[in-house]
Chain A
Amino acid sequence: MPPEELDGAIVFAPVGALMTAALQASAKGARIISAGIHMSDIPSFPYAELWGERSLGSVANLTRGDGEEFILLTPQVPVRTEVEVYPLEEANRALEDLRAGRFRGAAVLTVAGSGS
């Protein structure tokens, strides 16, 4: 459990049990957001864990407004990305390495001759 109660949490992993784990670690008024497009079932939990104006929610897709705002913000922060690079033709290996958690950060396919 975190060292102090959470006022909010973002769950990226597609594991429903993490939603209730985050809820149990939250303060009154907290918002717990799932950022994934797919997740395993969320286990049932006592209403008392939700009470206190805590809420569970999800993110679906993006708007163009989100994109334009975020893209402008990234160099100002600055946001750093850490990537693992694979040639385009090794997309299957990139997917399997992602599944197996064999790298940190994000896998990126690169096209031969792109000079990137």
Chain B
Amino acid sequence: MVLERQRQPLRLAELSEPTPAPGQVQIDVRACGVCRTDLHILDGELSEPKLPLVMGHQIVGVVREAGEGAERFAVGDRVGVPWLGWTDGECRYCRSGRENLCDHAKFTGYDLDGGYAEVAVADERFCFPIPEGYPDLQAAPLLCAGLIGYRALRLVGEAEGSGSTGSAPPLTSSARSRSTKDGGSSPSPARATRRRRRSLASWGPSGPAPRTRCRRRSSTGRSSSLRSGR
């Protein structure tokens, strides 16, 4: 699906198959999340996309071929491709461990073609292995909605009574911890980690394994629920 001009619908198109450059992997796309950022691109609120563009930056797929020098993943490995697609590694931000702020970063589905397609290519250094147990469809939203939520939660810090508002992705948070308010001392790093995990835990169900839920939308707009216990 191709974005040829902003503020116009995507167009179904047959494109030549992208081949992996050195350091890249070619991926058979299995699922790709749809993000509000994609709407900002479509609507022109993010104004400088590559055009024409294949959007999509929450890609789950299987490595089909590795480009020259790409050795991190084997053919058949399941990988995720997120928004951050390339950084220069040289600017002051990259050199200080803040590659998310890189002056010359390239973003998947914005500067680089993304996953609204059957096949994609990506720099293997910016791909993640997908944990076993997460079906493709349920893993896709982790790659932006989940990740950005996680980074935001870390920036908020060890809040005692945080809340979230808005169309938060598939994760909604009511992160709460009252231990210090109830008279405890400041947390040690280890306690802080446990508290963070408790806060994150409130985003999902209790139990030993992730439960997942998905609804399939038919072209009539009707949906049916599918549940899997992993």
Residue numbers of A with Cβ under 8 A of B are 2, 4-15, 18, 21-22, 25, 27, 30-31, 33, 35-38, 57, 59-95, 97-99, 101, 103, 105-111, 114-116
Chain A contacts for B149, CB-based, 8 A: 10, 12, 35
Whether, in the assembled complex, B70 has its beta carbon less than 8 Å from a beta carbon of chain A, the answer is: no
Does A106 contact B33, Cβ atoms closer than 8 Å?
Answer: yes
19 A–B contacts, CB within 8 A, in A order: A2-B161, A10-B163, A14-B36, A18-B165, A31-B157, A67-B128, A67-B147, A69-B150, A71-B142, A73-B200, A75-B209, A78-B205, A78-B209, A82-B212, A83-B138, A83-B141, A83-B214, A105-B141, A114-B31
* Contacting pair B28 A114 (CB below 8 A): yes
Taking the complex as formed, is B22 at the interface, i.e. its CB lies under 8 A from any CB of chain A?
Answer: no
Residues of B within 8 A of A61 (CB): 83-84, 100-101, 105, 107
Measured CB to CB, the residues of B under 8 A from A are: 1, 9-10, 12, 28-40, 42, 45-46, 55-56, 58, 60, 80, 82-84, 97-101, 105, 107, 115-118, 125-126, 128-143, 145-157, 159-171, 173, 175, 197, 200-201, 203-205, 207-217, 219, 223
Known: A18-B165, A22-B163, A73-B150. 6 other contacts (CB 8 A): A36-B166, A38-B46, A78-B205, A105-B170, A106-B34, A106-B140
Give Cα distance in the complex from A111 to B120, angstroms. Answer: 12
Set B9, B34, B84: member contacting A64, Cβ < 8 A: B84
B197 to chain A, nearest CB (A): 7
Q: Closest residue to B107 on the A side, CB-wise?
A: A61
CB distance from B111 to the nearest CB of A (A): 12
Within the assembled complex, what's the spacing in Å between the Cα atoms of A9 and B153? 8
> Which of B132, B141, B162 is in CB contact (< 8 Å) with A106?
B141
